[in-house]
Amino acid sequence: MALPVRTQLKYWGLAAAVFAVILWFLGDVLLPFVLGGAIAYFLDPVADRLERMGLTRGMATGTITVATGLLFVILALAVVPALVRQTTQLVDFAPQLFRNLQSFLTEQFPSVMVEDSPVRSALVSIGDTVKERGAELLNTALTSALSVINILLLFVIVPVVAVYMLLDWDNMVARIDELLPRDHAPVIRRLARDVDATLAGFIRGMGSVCLILGTYYAVALWLVGLQFGLVVGVVAGMLTFIPYVGAIVGGVLAIGLALFQFWGDWFWIAAVAGVFFFGQFLEGNFLTPKLVGSSVGLHPVWLILALSVFGTLFGFIGMLVAVPLAAALGVFARFLVEQYTDSRLYRGLTDEEQEQP
């Protein structure tokens, strides 16, 4: 006999509370395991495809591990040092950038940049803040990141966890399926499939889109000759998961830098703008429809809210679990709406039921 609904809600509520407490107190400890699980989840379709091609699960995992290791070495040697160097240079150059902007506006729009004008005061204030706090903020961010994601976690624990979870992924899913409450197993499986479809469409799909566009923006801006093009391309690619935000932020940064670097040479300024227009065309007509699909059921506003709430409550680990939790909550909300619209509370009594005494 199934447990009463009230008793079940108590158990599920207790499980949710325990999960929140674990995230609160053990977030830093769980970080490598969450990262490893996310990597395994992302690569599981690749392993499944290799298995269908005739490889065993172990051989598929080994092939993926070797290929990922080679890619990581290439990035570490060729891309990461340049990215760090350009980021540091951009922080150092920012005060000069604001001074150049102030001089440009003074020459072109003298009526706007009179002494004590709001625009002039704002630019001076921003420039002074960046000059005083920019390097400090960068150093603090790097120090904080290293304190949370230290070298040991990045280069040892995370890859080991990812490899083991990728190797045993199907077995873990089967074991979890065996432990489902028998009365609710069909509904839970259905909800799990919906959550997986949403996550697959968003994390795997948008992750691939972000990687492709970030690489395209960085390489294209580098070929154009834009200073700090690598940093701008990476930022634009990382923000692509929010529709239009990546292109807008990256485009504004790139075109703003191009105006100072290529002022008077409108061909190269137009070329920088064309990079982002073509990137948006590529994303909207080919990448997103092919890799993500028409709809994954995860609204950008809902995603931003989840990232903000979980990031504030649980820090970096909260931001990592925000996307799967947001997807799960969205699926549960749609399921509850479906149950509500099929209930007597929504439909009311039928004519036959109303005629009964």
Tens-place pLDDT, residues 168-201: 988 998 898 888 887 778 888 888 888 888 877 7
Position with higher pLDDT, 148 vs 273: 273
pTM given for the model: 0.67
Core vs surface per residue 39-54: b (16+ CB within 10 A) or e: bbbbbbebbeebeeee
- Phi, psi torsion values for 52, nearest 5 degrees: -65, -20
What residue has token string 């040092």? 81
CB-CB contact of 202 with 327 (8 Å): yes
- 14-32 as b/e: b if 16+ CB within 10 A: eeeeeeeeebeeebeebbb
The span from the CA of 291 to the CA of 276, in Å, is 20
User: What local confidence, expressed as pLDDT, does residue 1 receive?
Assistant: 46
Taking only the tens place, the pLDDT of each residue in 239-287 is: 887 767 777 888 888 887 887 777 777 888 888 888 888 888 888 788 8
The total of other beta-carbon atoms located within 10 Å of residue 157's CB is 16
| CA atoms of 151 and 162, how far apart (whole Å) | 16
pLDDT band (50, 70, 90) for residue 341? confident
Query: Can you say how many angstroms the Cα of residue 277 is from the centroid of all Cα atoms in its chain?
Result: 22
H helix runs in the chain, sequence order = 5-52, 57-78, 80-108, 118-148, 151-152, 158-167, 169-178, 185-199, 207-224, 229-238, 245-261, 266-282, 300-341, 344-347, 351-355
Q: What is the pLDDT of residues 76-131, one digit of tens each?
A: 777 667 766 776 766 666 666 666 666 666 665 555 555 555 555 655 555 555 55
The residues near 148 (Cβ < 8 Å, ≥ 6 apart) are: 28, 31, 315, 316
Contact (CB, 8 A) for 53 and 173: no
- Over residues 278-305, the pLDDT tens digits come to 888 888 788 877 776 654 556 777 777 8
- Among 41-45, 150-154, 278-282, 328-332, whose mean pLDDT is lowest? 150-154
Q: Is 270 helix (H, G, I), strand (E, B) or coil?
A: helix
